[in-house]
Structure 1
Amino acid sequence: MISNARKSKMGGKIGIRDRICCHQWTWFTMTMATGGIANVLHSVWTPYRSNWIWCIGLFFFIFNLCLFVMNCVLITMRFIMVPGSFMHSFLDQVESLFIPAVVVSTGTILINTCEYGIPMTGPWLKNTMEWLFWVYIFVSIVASVGIYLILWSTQIFPIHTMTPVWVFPGYPLLLTAPFASTLIAADDASSGLPVNRLPIAMCAVAVQGTGFLISFMICAAFIYRLMTQKLPRDMQRPGVFISIGPSGFTVAGLVSLGQQAQIIIPDNLQASGHTVAILELLSIIAGLWLWGLCVWFFLASVGSLWKYVRPEHTMPFQMTWWSFVFPNTAFVTATFALATAVSSNGLRIAACVMTGILIVVWALVFITMLRCLWNRKLLWPKELEDR
């Protein structure tokens, strides 16, 4: 559609305007991954309190803000320069699945703001983030339900084309518990009037559970697809890592909220003296259960890339390569949450090693993306080039 819309304006030369017209919602996976790295670095900083770790995490946070603004500007320009492309993006089989990426990117920015912003500002930011939490809850539910309804009403997805990318419209729901736990932790460490911790925690658990169950059912269907159709094609292979995210974010959120039960549960509900201990224990048991599922999906996802070790097999770069990063940030933060809950130095060291590897992967994907932009493999109307 984009290429055909530009044909009448082309003089045989592809300019910057034409490249901007190729910008899609998939580019917000980059800001999801970059914000996830900032979140992981804050998880590293929490037990070690090292200034240089804080500074690197702050850099990723600010850099992610710049990337997010750039994506918003570019995709707005595309919608203005190509009339009808906005509605078309909701009806495209591939691009429509990635529309919630802008909501997830916003969620990671809000979490990073709680981590890096509230400790450096006054109570006003904490109160603002409390309001934004409820706004995010509303937007995430509307976005998830709305996108799925549009897809179910307008598209037909054959089972042999299925990948965990089908989970993507449910991803905004999966950031609610991590958002709540981060906001409550920042509130506990700051001054001023406390936020309404119990309503925030209860709502976050409800929405997080909804998002996880939706994602779990889709991942179960993906297992059926693998049993009947083998692994996805090369260009779809990075999407396998998306199956790690639902359990990873759920572990990170629930375990962190469980460890904060002392400051969340009101005194009148702690009368028996066992309420907090029971909630902490339940969060750890549920966390270990789902963390095992996260590990299993991680090993299966890495194993699906084994054939690319051989030089005769290559994987074409697409923006879905950021799936190598963002779902794994959930895995790492979940590992840190469990390490804190069970006081395990082994898990904490493993999570630190995973963090280092993840930053290297982020850098490799980012450099590859820039190289493809330079080599005209990204943001390039290939039909027009052939013509």
Structure 2
Amino acid sequence: MSDSATVAEKPAGKRVPKEIIRHFTPSWFSVNMGTGILSILLYTFPFQFYGLPTIALVLYISNAVIFSIFFIITCLRYIMFPSIFQLMMKHSAQSLFIGTLPMGLTTITNFTILAISGKYEWGMNLAFVLWCIQFVFTMFSCIAVPFYIIVHHNHQLESMNGTWLLPIVPAVVTGASGGLLANHIDEHRGFIVLIISYITMGMGLCLALSIISIYFYRLAVHNLPPKEVIISSFLPLGPLGQGAFGMIQLGSASQRLLGDKYIMGLGNTAYGVGFLASLILWGYGVWYLCVAVFSVGITVKQRIPFNMGWWGLTFPLGVFTSATVAIGGVLDSMFFLVLGAILTCILVVIWLSVMAKTLQGVFSGEMFYAPCLTPVVLNT
């Protein structure tokens, strides 16, 4: 083995900070996704107790700080090493994680809407600005990344896994976030956000359902994904759970903003149809949750290696839990509320475990490695 190849395999943590920046991949924003959705779930926990909102607020602030640090490092990466951007975009695995940036930002936006906007006058304006920013990143993820998938990547059905959903899910997440925002903001901006969110939801949900269908075909024909990416089995829960949550939010905002305008009973109809659609998507999610649990359960005997993909356990399960609690709120159903509480407790345990593993990898340097740079290093 050549010396250059040996260097390529060394943990980035043993290099200077400049190399850590160089190897800082988009997948790090999945930390924000998992941490942010947990803060939201704790804040909206069906059975509140003393101190829980404070814990949620601490997580929210921590998530915002972490996101800011990650965003600065990401900007430095492409400013200091501009050629890496094209390498990353043309990499068939790394480019898929671009969608984690707007999804991580969405968790900050949603918590701002729920907890900050009602207490401070600037809160709603901040939420609106954050939503606009995440919308821009969402459009880039949903349009630019699929372009590279079609034109530059070399994908095969046998190697397909749940990460194919990552560039598309931000549209579902942003659409749902827009529904939540439209339900709280002034009517003029709310109407614009609502229409854009419905269109964005349609873009993301329809594409996601198409990919999920292909994913099922891949499972039926080629068995389970390899152990390195088996955690991605949970990713279909993302668009299904967030889609269910989003349809409720969009329907509620439609009831408030549309009412009987344009078409008699349009607002109520949108709310009713949205809720029924949420039940259908939630049921579909239950099936994929069972498949994911069985898939990981079968593969765990092979000692699944830890990587950033483990954060795929947190956000998909989190948004599915949000949908469960939202359905329970509409139906005033103790079953859904208790189930949501149980899933939240499970998510807390998973988040603590994954965060501990991540911090261990950060201190050892094992987590700082960008596969898209390996060919460049090997050729130097």
TM class by shorter chain equals: 0.7 to 0.9
Amino acid at match of 1:331: F
Distance 1:243-1:113 versus aligned 2 partners, 3 A rule: same
Segment of structure 1 superposing worse, 286-295 or 17-26: 17-26
Structure 1 vs Structure 2: percent identity of aligned residues? 22
Q: Secondary structure at the match of 1:232?
A: coil
Q: In the alignment, which residue of structure 1 is the partner of 2:147?
A: 149
Q: In the alignment, which residue of structure 2 is the partner of 1:315?
A: 304
Q: Secondary structure at the match of 1:281?
A: helix
Q: In the alignment, which residue of structure 2 is the partner of 1:170?
A: 168
Q: In the alignment, which residue of structure 2 is the partner of 1:255?
A: 248
> What is the CA–CA distance in structure 2 between the aligned matches of 1:269 and 1:52, rounded to whole Å?
46
Q: In the alignment, which residue of structure 2 is the partner of 1:112?
A: 111
Q: In the alignment, which residue of structure 2 is the partner of 1:293?
A: 284
Q: Secondary structure at the match of 1:119?
A: coil
> What is the CA–CA distance in structure 2 between the aligned matches of 1:260 and 1:370, rounded to whole Å?
40
Segment of structure 1 superposing worse, 135-144 or 85-94: 135-144
Distance 1:135-1:65 versus aligned 2 partners, 3 A rule: closer
Tell me the C-alpha RMSD between the 2 structures.
Answer: 2.6
Q: In the alignment, which residue of structure 1 is the partner of 2:213?
A: 220
Q: In the alignment, which residue of structure 1 is the partner of 2:58?
A: 59
Q: In the alignment, which residue of structure 2 is the partner of 1:366?
A: 355
Q: In the alignment, which residue of structure 1 is the partner of 2:227?
A: 234
Q: In the alignment, which residue of structure 1 is the partner of 2:192?
A: 199
Q: Secondary structure at the match of 1:315?
A: coil
Q: How does 1:1-387 map to 2 (within 5 A)?
A: 14-44=15-45, 48=47, 50=49, 52-82=51-81, 84-122=83-121, 124-187=122-185, 194-266=187-259, 268=261, 274-310=265-301, 313-379=302-368
> What is the CA–CA distance in structure 2 between the aligned matches of 1:195 and 1:24, rounded to whole Å?
39
Q: TM-score, normalised by structure 1?
A: 0.86
> What is the CA–CA distance in structure 2 between the aligned matches of 1:372 and 1:343, rounded to whole Å?
43
Q: TM-score, normalised by structure 2?
A: 0.87
Deviation at 1:85, TM superposition (A): 1.6
Distance 1:197-1:17 versus aligned 2 partners, 3 A rule: closer
Deviation at 1:14, TM superposition (A): 3.4
Amino acid at match of 2:321: V
Deviations 1:200-254 (A, max 9, x none): 2232122112101101111111111111111000101011111111111111011
Q: Secondary structure at the match of 2:347?
A: helix
Distance 1:19-1:180 versus aligned 2 partners, 3 A rule: closer
User: Can you give the 5+ residue segments of structure 1 that lack an aligned partner in the other structure?
Assistant: 8-12, 188-192
> What is the CA–CA distance in structure 2 between the aligned matches of 1:276 and 1:380, rounded to whole Å?
49
Deviations 1:331-368 (A, max 9, x none): 00110111111110110011011001101101100001
> What is the CA–CA distance in structure 2 between the aligned matches of 1:173 and 1:258, rounded to whole Å?
17
User: Can you give the 5+ residue segments of structure 2 that lack an aligned partner in the other structure?
Assistant: 9-13
> What is the CA–CA distance in structure 2 between the aligned matches of 1:80 and 1:130, rounded to whole Å?
28
Distance 1:252-1:14 versus aligned 2 partners, 3 A rule: same
Contact 2:325 2:340 in 1 (8 A): yes
> What is the CA–CA distance in structure 2 between the aligned matches of 1:111 and 1:5, rounded to whole Å?
44
Contact 1:130 1:195 in 2 (8 A): no
Q: In the alignment, which residue of structure 2 is the partner of 1:190?
A: none
Deviation at 1:52, TM superposition (A): 2.1
Deviations 1:268-314 (A, max 9, x none): 458x5x5554333222211111110011111101110112454xx20
Q: In the alignment, which residue of structure 2 is the partner of 1:10?
A: none
Deviation at 1:175, TM superposition (A): 1.4
Q: Secondary structure at the match of 2:15?
A: coil
> What is the CA–CA distance in structure 1 between the aligned matches of 2:370 and 2:53, rounded to whole Å?
41
> What is the CA–CA distance in structure 2 between the aligned matches of 1:5 and 1:381, rounded to whole Å?
15
Amino acid at match of 2:362: L
Deviation at 1:79, TM superposition (A): 3.5
Amino acid at match of 2:214: A
Q: Secondary structure at the match of 2:304?
A: coil
> What is the CA–CA distance in structure 1 between the aligned matches of 2:240 and 2:216, rounded to whole Å?
15
Distance 1:309-1:89 versus aligned 2 partners, 3 A rule: closer
Segment of structure 1 superposing worse, 167-176 or 196-205: 196-205
Deviation at 1:161, TM superposition (A): 0.6
Contact 1:25 1:95 in 2 (8 A): yes
Residues paired across the two proteins, number: 365
Deviation at 1:62, TM superposition (A): 0.8
Amino acid at match of 2:360: R
> What is the CA–CA distance in structure 2 between the aligned matches of 1:349 and 1:145, rounded to whole Å?
39
